[in-house]
């Protein structure tokens, strides 16, 4: 049997980049998926519906830094699918950022990164967790990054925001444990996603050095993350909470 049969998942930023693969993987394991993104998810909905049935997926445009939009997303998800079992906080300002010196970040851009990456994750939890608390079960998976472990330079607001997600995960797990809700992070290393590959500066700066710094000396792709994502979403990880699993081919060992 598929490992997520009967489960309902929300994937933020689930229409493009790595999130697109998360949406596909959860659906392939039997979950019904609400894709929430500022980007249009209609083509992905058609693809998943074609493979797993019309009732397996829906999408909504939603900016995770906008609390009103999130309230609407959560209400529509519950109305359409009846419950929420899995939240993947994946939406982030990432692939559109150009690496630069710490002095060169416009404070407004700094605020935007924090508003989406940190506040957005909080707002999602603020409106999804009460539904999980009522049913005394749930899986919250916050997508962090290997970058705060390594102290990756020239991406300061981004790395800082992902460090916050690690702390957010640990502290939140302590509050939600009593309701049977698991809160974990998945921290990917540098992944060659379709959106990431469009940021040519980043690819040029990162690809070869990151590959060489890994125990497994190869590039990483979204597919490398899917086993861990499904594990954290499934009953196989039921006694794990407050943790961050780094999936980076052994790069932070260096
Ligand atoms: N690609 C990597 O190497 C890498 C490494 C470590 C962690 N990550 C993390 O993985 C996640 C996905 O990465 P990616 O490479 O696909 O990044 P990306 O920038 O390509 O994708 C982010 C997704 O979030 C959406 N999004 C952006 N702002 C949003 C908003 N305000 N509201 C809702 N959706 C919004 C985008 O449309 C996109 O679908 C991010 O959290 C990123 O920080 C990526």
Average pLDDT along the chain: 97
Kindly give the number of the ligand 1 atom that is closest to the alpha carbon of 190. Answer: 3
Break the chain down into helix, strand, coil percent, rounded to 5.
55, 15, 30
Pocket flag, ligand 1, residue 157 (CB < 6 Å): no
The class that CATH gives domain 8-244 is alpha beta
Residue whose Cα lies nearest atom 7 of ligand 1: it is: 145
| Residue ranges covered by each domain of the chain | 8-244
Give me the pLDDT at residue 200, please. Answer: 80
Among 11, 14, 16, 17, which residue has the most ligand 1 atoms within 8 Å of its CB, making it the best to mutate?
17
Pocket flag, ligand 1, residue 118 (CB < 6 Å): no
Determine the distance separating the centroid of ligand 1 and the alpha carbon of 90, expressed in angstroms: 6
Assign 9 to helix, strand or coil. Answer: strand
Q: Which residues are catalytic?
A: 158
* Global model pTM greater than 0.75: yes
Tens digits of residue pLDDT in 195-230:
988 888 788 888 999 999 999 999 999 999 999 999
Flag whether pLDDT at 98 surpasses 60.
yes
Could you give the CA distance from residue 3 to residue 234 in angstroms, rounded to a whole number? 6
């Amino acid at each position: 049997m598929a490992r997520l049969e009967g489960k309902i998942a929300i994937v933020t930023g689930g229409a493009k980049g790595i999130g697109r693969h998360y949406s596909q993987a959860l659906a392939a394991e039997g979950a019904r998926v609400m894709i929430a993104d500022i980007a249009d998810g209609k083509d992905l909905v058609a693809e998943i519906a074609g493979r797993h049935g019309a009732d397996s997926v829906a999408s909504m445009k939603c900016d995770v830094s906008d609390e009103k939009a999130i309230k609407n997303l959560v209400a529509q998800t519950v109305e359409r699918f009846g419950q929420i079992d899995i939240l993947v906080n994946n939406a982030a300002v990432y692939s559109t950022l150009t690496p630069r010196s710490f002095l060169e970040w416009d404070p407004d851009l700094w605020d935007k990164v924090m508003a989406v990456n940190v506040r957005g994750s909080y707002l999602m939890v603020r409106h999804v967790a009460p539904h999980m608390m009522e049913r005394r079960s749930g899986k919250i998976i916050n997508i962090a990054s290997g970058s705060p472990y390594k102290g990756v330079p020239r991406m300061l607001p981004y790395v800082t925001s992902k460090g916050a997600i690690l702390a957010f995960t640990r502290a939140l797990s302590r509050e939600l444990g009593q309701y049977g809700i698991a809160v974990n992070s998945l921290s990917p290393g540098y992944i060659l996603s379709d959106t990431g590959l469009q940021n040519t500066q980043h690819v040029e700066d990162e690809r070869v050095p990151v590959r060489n710094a890994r125990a497994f000396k190869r590039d990483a792709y979204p597919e490398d993350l899917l086993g861990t994502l499904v594990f954290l979403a499934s009953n196989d990880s039921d006694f794990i909470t407050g943790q961050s699993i780094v999936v980076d081919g052994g790069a932070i060992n260096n």
